[in-house]
Structure 1
Amino acid sequence: MTKQQQGEETDHSQQTPARLDELTRANEQLRQELAQLNAAYRTLTRERDLLRALIDHLPEYLYIKDTNSRFILGNAATARGLGVSGPEQYVSKDDFDFFPPELARQYYANEQSVLRSGQPLLNQEEVVVDPSGKEGWASTSTIALRNDEGQIIGLVGISRDITELKLTQEALSRQNAYLAALHDTTLALISHLDLNDLLENLVSRAGELMGAAHGFIYLVEPGMVQK
């Protein structure tokens, strides 16, 4: 073995421990980074599960759609409202798969308006039909969903059932109409209208309240009714 070969062998023998130390440190660094990534993944998974549990317990319909108004994801309430057992049965579908065409066209037009303009549509009152075919009302808010560059990539919608509220409002409206009719009739009595004028007034007001075009009042004199 020449002196040159002996020198090279000595250099390699000196480099080997240093190289092993370097690889050991690199391996330890990778191990720590992997542990951090695993911890971050577990945290994200836990947060995702908590968020999923939260939105699935919301009574409101919460969903995300793409730019073609197709469902990307949503909560359990949305599934119930569409008459399916879970979100997997409406993902990639749209409102035309679940609602009458005239309603689906209305929903689609509203959503596409938001996607074009970027302006939110808040508390829009819409007629809805449940899986049994029963009509109701919902208040819907639609907001454009943007990516990091600000481009619109879809929409977020939240809708709540306001059928009971609308029925209550209609009942109050009818009650107010009855009170107004009673008030008008009382004023007519106070002003001593002619009997025929008073009866015509009563029939007219009753027709307005009941949505009837014609009405009659039968006057019964004492003794005409047989017991």
Structure 2
Amino acid sequence: MSQLIPTQSNEQGNLLVSGRDLHKFLEVGTRYNVWFPRMVEYGFAENVDFIRVTQKCDTLGGEQEMVDHHLRIEMAKEICMIQRNEKGRQARQYFLDLERKWNSPEMVIKRAHEYLERKVAMLTTDNLVLAQQVNELKPKATYYDMVLQNKSLLSVSKIAKDYGMSAIKLNQTLHELGIQFKQGDIWLLYAKYQDRGYTQTTTHVIDADKSRVSTKWTQKGRLFIYDLLKQQGILPLIEHGEMAS
């Protein structure tokens, strides 16, 4: 699809969009330096949902510094919803389509391999160090390969086993990171994550009067957990050079 609004990605693999580019596309009448702080008041946090960036620009009065913001695609989508107009709807749909393509299995594994190649290219020419670091990087791509080859739904206990932890511990960790909450006996995703295809709710019929509802994770959700925990310094056992028993 045509690029309605320019985007870029950071080293963590997140899609970013310029606040000023979004402001321009939405045809907001309010000046950017007034409009953007109002958007932040909807609950967005600096260095989490967006980062502040500056660049030099030439004006009639000489060189001046212009402030912009790089927004994560999730924040950009919510801002589009806030606008409640056709431009906002159009931009949100564009971001949804872009995000769907970006998070496809093919693109995820492609980025993992590109990351590996960049790291290898930066290694020293010393053969011993090169061999050691390449071996350390290989499991990262291998983990993605292993996940993408599996199409089945997973219980949280099976994902927890990847990290050598219990299901209780992983559920609590995801809760502390603001991903899910507990309602009765079932864990549910917060609204921000509900429409991303990370989980599916299944019902197990026990008898004519009883049934049990549980949340299962998709492979996309499994990769989401992987990226989330990696940011916290928590890696699966396979990336420590060992397999879970």
Whether TM exceeds 0.5 here: the answer is: no
| TM-score normalised according to structure 2 size | 0.24
Q: TM-score, normalised by structure 1?
A: 0.25
- Larger radius of gyration, structure 1 or 2? 1
